[in-house]
Amino acid sequence: MKKQYFFLNEYTKLVAAERNSAIYDFSTGNIVALEPALAAILRLAERGLPTEEIAPTIALPATLVDELLNGVVAYGLGKFYDRRVYIERKYKPLPKDSMRSPVISRCYIELPYSCKLECVDCRQPKIYACALCSKASTAGLDEHTLFDFLRRIIKLQCRSLIFRGGDPLSHLDSFVPIIAFCREQHFTEKLFVNTNATSIGEPALRVLANYKVHPVIPFGGDNSGFISEDSLSNLAKQFHESRIDFSITLVISSHNATSVRRMRVFAEQLGAASVFATAILSNKQEESMAAIEALGKQVMRVSGDLFYRNREYHPCLNGTIAVAADGQLRPCPLLTCESLGNVTAPRIIDEIFETGALDKYWELSLSQIGKCKECAFKFGCLDCRAVEQHLTANLYGKHLCALAKEECP
């Protein structure tokens, strides 16, 4: 009897980990979970073992092996061959140096502004809180120091500047000179502002349109304390009329967890450029879990390039830098226990690259994190190091799982 072989196709990557196994399908971005038996079969098949030798090797019925492999064929992820062949993968790992971020992708700048909302949950820990408005707890930098920092960041070809801290659009007298300076320095990339949006009137609309500033607005439904549904709807119309791109951050708590799907549909129908989501963690575990479950599985579609980048770098920290209101330089606006220095030091930006101080954070792939290192899905998961550090008191700790409803054991 002629031997038969089975191989996954050229757009796939089999990842077998201690806790589970998966196929990454780079043609669609999907990650396909595998049953233990199928994972064991595919590992042997990929090594070139004939299919008739796989069953006795792992003590499975030959009919089951054929059935499971035919299921993979049905999904278009592999096929049988009458001889052992070499499948040249379409995506291969690049040299690490070629994947290194050449510029800062995101720079968060905290401003010492006030906010009139006084939200009860403002100081509560949140997952992905960088997409929310916030409050600074210290005085701000003087204008000269801030502008020197911005000038240096812009020269480094930063791809986006995100202003946060209080409600900048309620402080146009001091905020406008900052964004005007950025544009005067020929910064043509994206300017974002995290705002509660309750103070956006004609003056703020003109500023957003003139300087091409992209507002990011929190929304939690009509009983959340944020902007109301009607007000946000009317504001979205004004944004479209003024050709202002905007994004919405869904703020999920135990109180609105059952309304998240409706909130998301509403936000998408407004024509937002992006709809983010964050979950508020409560002191009560059952309330936190309700919000986390409503947030849903935080998994990306994974291309070949993204797979190999996430294998080496953190999915969020990579390319990120943040400045607190007092000038503390951090790898993330919410990693308040981590400091890279202060921007009042003249050469601080050059020094963090010269010394490799950022590598600790940018190269913090999930292969180094808690239970993530034992999971096959780690190259497609999102991860919030700030909330994990808050919950575990450890930069490398893991308490929440992006895939599971329950916490990591």
pLDDT tens digits, residue range 140-161?
889 999 999 999 999 999 999 9
Q: Is residue 148 domain-shared with residue 69, that is, in the same domain? A: no
* Structural contact between residues 6 and 14, judged by C-beta atoms closer than 8 angstroms: no
* 202-239 per-position pLDDT tens digit: 999 999 999 999 999 999 987 778 899 999 999 999 99
Q: Is residue 19 domain-shared with residue 140, that is, in the same domain? A: no
pLDDT for 404 equals 60
Please state the domain count of the chain.
2
| Residue 305 within any structural domain of the chain | no
* 248-286 per-position pLDDT tens digit: 999 999 889 999 999 999 999 999 999 999 999 988 888
Query: In this model, does residue 408 exceed pLDDT 60?
Result: no
DSSP letter for each residue of 237-300 = HHHHHTT---EEEEEE-TTTGGGHHHHHHHHHHTT-SEEEEEEEPPSSHHHHHHHHHHH---B-
Band of pLDDT at residue 292, cut at 50, 70 and 90: confident
Band of pLDDT at residue 21, cut at 50, 70 and 90: very high
CA distance 34 to 40: 9
| Residue 396 within any structural domain of the chain | no
| Residue 404 within any structural domain of the chain | no
Q: Is residue 136 domain-shared with residue 71, that is, in the same domain? A: no
Q: Look up residue 85 and give its two tokens.
A: 């062949």
Q: Is residue 193 domain-shared with residue 341, that is, in the same domain? A: yes
Q: Is residue 30 domain-shared with residue 124, that is, in the same domain? A: no
CA distance 377 to 367: 10
Q: Is residue 180 domain-shared with residue 111, that is, in the same domain? A: yes
Q: Is residue 178 domain-shared with residue 105, that is, in the same domain? A: yes
Q: Is residue 188 domain-shared with residue 269, that is, in the same domain? A: yes
| Residue 312 within any structural domain of the chain | no
Closest listed residue to residue 186, CA positions, set 149, 147, 155: 155
| Residue 88 within any structural domain of the chain | no
Q: Is residue 260 domain-shared with residue 346, that is, in the same domain? A: yes
Domain closes at, from 47, 81, 115: 81
Q: Is residue 114 domain-shared with residue 238, that is, in the same domain? A: yes
* Structural contact between residues 22 and 302, judged by C-beta atoms closer than 8 angstroms: no
Beginning with the edge strand found earlier in the chain, give each strand of the sheet holding 328-330 in spatial order: 126-127, 274-280, 247-252, 213-219, 190-194, 160-164, 106-110, 320-323, 328-330, 341-342
| CATH number of the domain within which 26 lies | 3.90.930
Q: Look up residue 83 and give its two tokens.
A: 């001889």
| Residue 303 within any structural domain of the chain | no
pLDDT for 97 equals 57
* Structural contact between residues 191 and 168, judged by C-beta atoms closer than 8 angstroms: no
Per the structure, the complete domain to which residue 47 belongs is given by: 5-81
Closest listed residue to residue 228, CA positions, set 217, 239, 237: 217
Band of pLDDT at residue 407, cut at 50, 70 and 90: very low
Q: Are strands 274-280 and 126-127 parallel, antiparallel or unpaired?
A: antiparallel
Q: What is the mean pLDDT of residues 11-35?
A: 95
| CATH number of the domain within which 183 lies | 3.20.20.70
| Residue 30 within any structural domain of the chain | yes
Q: Are strands 21-25 and 12-16 parallel, antiparallel or unpaired?
A: antiparallel
Task: Tell whether pTM > 0.85.
Answer: yes
* 313-354 per-position pLDDT tens digit: 999 999 999 999 999 999 999 999 999 999 999 899 999 999
Band of pLDDT at residue 406, cut at 50, 70 and 90: very low
* Structural contact between residues 49 and 43, judged by C-beta atoms closer than 8 angstroms: no
* 86-99 per-position pLDDT tens digit: 998 888 776 655 54
Q: Is residue 260 domain-shared with residue 331, that is, in the same domain? A: yes
pLDDT for 101 equals 47
User: What helix, strand, coil percent values describe the chain, rounded to 5?
Assistant: 35, 20, 45
pLDDT for 3 equals 86
| Residue 374 within any structural domain of the chain | no
Q: Is residue 151 domain-shared with residue 278, that is, in the same domain? A: yes
DSSP symbol at 407:
P
